[in-house]
Structure 1
Amino acid sequence: MGGTRSASQSAAKAQSPASGKAALAAWIGSALEYYDFFIYGSAAALVFARIIFPADDPSMATLLSLATFGVAYVARPLGAFVMGYIGDVFGRKVVMLLTLLGMGICTFIIGLMPTYDQIGIWAPIALVSLRICQGLAVAGEQSGATSMTIEHAPEGRRAFFSSFTLAGTQGGQVLATAVFLPLFALPDDQLLSWGWRIPFLLSIVVMAIAWWIRRSLPEPDAFEEEREQGTKDNPLKALFALGYLPDVVRVLLAAFASVTSTLATIYALNYGVETMGVSRTTMLTMLICANLVALVAIPAWAAVADRIGRKPVFIIGSLGSALMIWPFIWSITQTNVPMIYVTGILMSGVVYSAYSGSAFALFSEQFETKIRLSGMAIGTQFGFAMGGFAPTIAAALAGPGLTHWVPVAIFGCLTSTVAAISAFSMRETFRAPLSALGRNR
């Protein structure tokens, strides 16, 4: 029965127009998520410490501001259980619409929020509350989008189609940085009063576009077949009853590779501008260039992962990032602008893209259809929590004045190495048909 289903699914998928639409829906939703997260990260690194928290101790205000970036990652594991259940029981599309609304609405409200001078301690409380809501909402975004694209994709091209989920993160970061770039050229009084609000308010436009694309997206055949069979298992119970706990842990540890991303964006932005005196324009323009390169590099690496396997490409990305974090942070300490561009683009745009092009295919293909979204969501969201708190951990490791960069580089190097080792221990899945994916297939 499994072979017959596999053949019918492969034939259908090869001709399905939904493959491209699912990839586009994944791209635009992921772009919104990372537009929202990057504008928040930029504001946390350069703005919120000055307007949301007490100004008595600037170093502590910076640490607290960066910590709010990580708060959403505390809520994301809880959201992963909720969104995973909804996605595996009611459908991938339901999750993709819920995450879109939750993330977009919270971001818009942050743009309307009063400052510390206006409402005192309620300002940071409101900010943290909205970040928690964002974390709960976004927990199923990448897992839902990846499950949708994997299950719609033609056999032999699942990594390529699923790579649009993480390619969208680059698109979102480019858009967010492009919006913030002219605003950071404003005088401080204008930036801190109204300028920083504009990117948050504009998120409503991206949300509307993503909603329009996603609302007519069909559920994948693989999910519909599971639903037609009338399976009543709770996917969260089935995930552990079927012996997938080791796979969840492997995904969790492999997701530590995300530390490189937040160190290269949020921490490096704060460290470069506030500590080393590199201009905001230089750092933001470098990030735009790196992400533009990644827009091409991610699907290219994904195509390689479809030909030679997910694991080799993932390991290249993780270990390459473990090496490149050293010259990148060092170049910032030297305020060497050409080296910042070269090392930043090489690390974030080229090397890290190998991880981005292979990771979500590798992660999602460890699980069978009826528990795919739950397994991936729980594993990645617990693992991504390390990436979410990476800027705060790095700031603490750097010490007073954020002057000690070597411990930060060691931290980034170790987490990427752990991710590579974990990926090495996973099942290679690039030749397996969709119906054969999972521990017990």
Structure 2
Amino acid sequence: MTVGEGPALGQGVGRSAGATVDGDPSPPSEVRRVTASTFAGNTIEYYDFILYGSAAALIFGPLFFSNLSPTMAAIASFSTLATGYLCRPLGGLLFGYLGDRYGRKPTLLATMVLMGLATGLIGLLPTTSQVGIWAPVMLIALRLTQGIAVGGEWGGAALMTAEHAPPARRGWITAIGQAGQPSGGALAMGAMALVALLPGEQLLSWGWRIPFLVSFALLLIALYMRVRISESPLFEELQRAENSQRKHRRPVSELFLEHRGALLRGILVSIPPSLMVTLVSSFCVSYAVAAGFSRSTVLTAVGVAFATAIPTNPIYGHLSDRLGRRPVYAAGTLAVAVLVFPLFWAIDSGSTLWLFVAFIVAYALVAPAIGAGLAAILSEMFTTPVRFTGVSMSFQIGAIISGLFPVVATSLLVLGDQRPIWVAVLVLVIALLSTLIVTKIRESSGDRLTLDATEGIR
């Protein structure tokens, strides 16, 4: 099946009921351009977001909460990390509405600028020793801005690729875009690992700022790529149909009134992929340093795991096209359940080799099975008029659990007398529940994306 093959507006095709189309044909060159733009956008967005997570684990406690004990400073630092996740649904709602109402491309340009500026400005912040309480206040404000920006970015970038991709290859093509997440993580961890080599005084005075200031340059590169892509063909077809019938959509109200079931399912399947990111890039970083590894060693191990996950994401995306979204996702969640205890045993072993093996297996081999097909899964759950809002809200509400995880896990670590037994149990329970949930979701690989649930525009 080639890009753009399909029926006209109003014809029902495929396994899902209702009118389904692929939109106007997207040339292969445009599909490649959009995929590259999505990859670059995700790389930079997640460089910014994961950079904050690693800094929260290693740097922000003594800089912005120096008046607290080390344990309380760590919890406070992770709490600022959580505020970004709590704001992500707001960003998903705001930019989802704008993307469904006025277009995918301009909305994605806005989220990119907002994220890049917020991250760069973190690198210019004064610390608590310089301005007192205003330092953490400004840090939290910029973290909230990051959360709002990434709340709109992920969903828009995911569906932009999905709406250009041919149905038979949607899992693979969207997974290439999603490979930008580990790419951004690898860059963030590499940057932090380099500055962590500085003497402690230099690291805490000026070295930590450099990775954040780099975001200004990355923003310019991403904007150049993003302005060159075309608008989604499905969105353009929807606008033409809407204009001819003089109808106006209300994406937010339509989502909550008519697509509640899809939204709930989308939230539930979005929790494990986000959880794996925060587990590996934030909590396990802090835990491994406390276990005796140097900051630079831990960050390098996580960076290698992220880099290794770049090629494995498209592989799992391709498997989701061939085998189905559900079996690949379920295999990933079951692997998490099996391997979560060995993950902590490897860290506790004190062996650098086992540390690297643990992070690579967790993030490069297991996590992509859950996350690589998520963009396709969520895009296939919603119709075009509410797809931006639906995909964004599903992913970002699910991500709230992930944002709270480091705080909860650190508290469970204290409860377990610094042993991770209860943290591992929590991850195990979430993984098993997720495996059960995904078996209840309809298989959608190969489906054409739905323009609207009924013929024409309501």
Q: Which bin holds the TM-score, normalised by the shorter protein? A: over 0.9
TM-fit CA distance, 1:15:
3.3
More helix by share: 1
Matched, 1:108 2:120: yes
* Structure 2 residue matching 1:4: 3-state secondary structure: coil
- Write out per-residue CA displacement over residues 127-155 of structure 1, whole angstroms, 9 at most, x where no aligned residue: 11111111112211110001110111122
The offset of 1:219, in angstroms, is 0.9
CA–CA distance in structure 1, aligned partners of residues 453 and 398 of structure 2: 20
Deviation at 1:199, TM superposition (A): 0.2
Q: What's the TM-score, normalizing by structure 2? A: 0.91
Contact 2:179/2:309 (8 A) holds in 1: yes
- State the distance in 1 between where 2:136 and 2:362 align: 34
Match of 2:402 in 1: 387
> Is the 8 Å Cα contact of residues 429 and 437 (structure 1) preserved in structure 2?
no
Q: Deviations over 1:382-436 (max 9, x none)?
A: 1101111211111011117971201111111222223332222222111212247
The answer to whether residue 23 in structure 2 is matched with residue 19 in structure 1 is no
- Equivalent position amino acid for 2:163 in 1: E
**Which consecutive residues of structure 2, in runs of 5 or more, have no partner in the other structure?**
1-5, 14-19
Q: Cα deviations across residues 238-274 of structure 1 (Å, max 9, x unaligned)? A: 11332x111111111111102122111100111111x
One-letter amino acid matched to 2:103: G
SS in 2 for 1:425: coil
Asked if 1:245 corresponds to 2:257, the answer is no
Q: Distance in 1 between matches of 2:235 and 2:68?
A: 55
Q: Is this contact kept in 2: 1:47–1:192, CA < 8 A?
A: yes
> What CA distance in whole angstroms lies between the structure 1 residues aligned with 2:54 and 2:200?
15
Q: Does 1:63 align with 2:67?
A: no
2:413 paired residue among 385, 398, 402: 398
Cross-structure match for 2:185:
173
Matched, 1:3 2:7: yes
Preserved contact between residue 183 and residue 191 of structure 1 (Cα < 8 Å):
yes
Q: Take 1:246 and 1:9, find their aligned partners in 2: how far apart are those partners? A: 22
Q: Distance in 1 between matches of 2:291 and 2:372?
A: 33
Matches within 5 A, 1:242-281: 242=258, 244-257=259-272, 258-273=274-289, 275-281=290-296
Counterpart residue identity of residue 277, structure 2? S
Structure-2 change in CA distance of 1:227 and 1:101 (3 Å): same
Which residue number in structure 1 is paired with residue 368 of structure 2?
353
Query: Aligned to 1:428, what secondary structure does the other structure show?
Result: coil
Identity %: 34
Q: Deviations over 1:338-382 (max 9, x none)?
A: 222222211211111111211111111100111111111111111
Indicate the SS of the match to 1:157.
helix
Residues 279-290 of structure 1: pairs in structure 2 closer than 5 A: 279-290=294-305
Q: Equivalences for 1:71-110 in 2 at 5 Å?
A: 71-110=83-122
Of 359, 376, 380, which aligns to 1:365? 380
Q: Distance in 2 between matches of 1:168 and 1:196?
A: 23
RMSD: 2.1
Mapped contact 1:23–1:149 kept (Cα < 8 A): yes
Counterpart for residue 333 of structure 2: 318
Aligned residue runs from structure 1 range 144-163, under 5 A: 144-163=156-175
TM-score, L = length of structure 1: 0.95
Amino acid paired to 2:88: R
Distance in 1 of aligned mates of 2:207 and 2:454:
51
Aligned residues: 438
1:419, 1:154 → 2: CA distance?
Answer: 28
Displacement after TM superposition at 1:439 (Å) = 9.6
Between the aligned partners of 2:264 and 2:338, the Cα distance in structure 1 is 24
Encode CA deviations 1:166-188: one digit per residue, 9 max, x unaligned.
21011101111111112101111
- 8 Å Cα contact 1:167/1:356 also seen in 2: no
Equivalence for 2:139? 127
Is 1:428 paired with 2:440? no
CA–CA distance in 1 between the matches of 2:158 and 2:280?
A: 24
Q: 1:224 aligns with which of 215, 228, 236?
A: 236
Report deviation, 1:12.
Answer: 5.1
Distance in 1 (CA, whole Å) between partners of 2:365 and 2:102 is 37
Cross-structure match for 1:45: 57
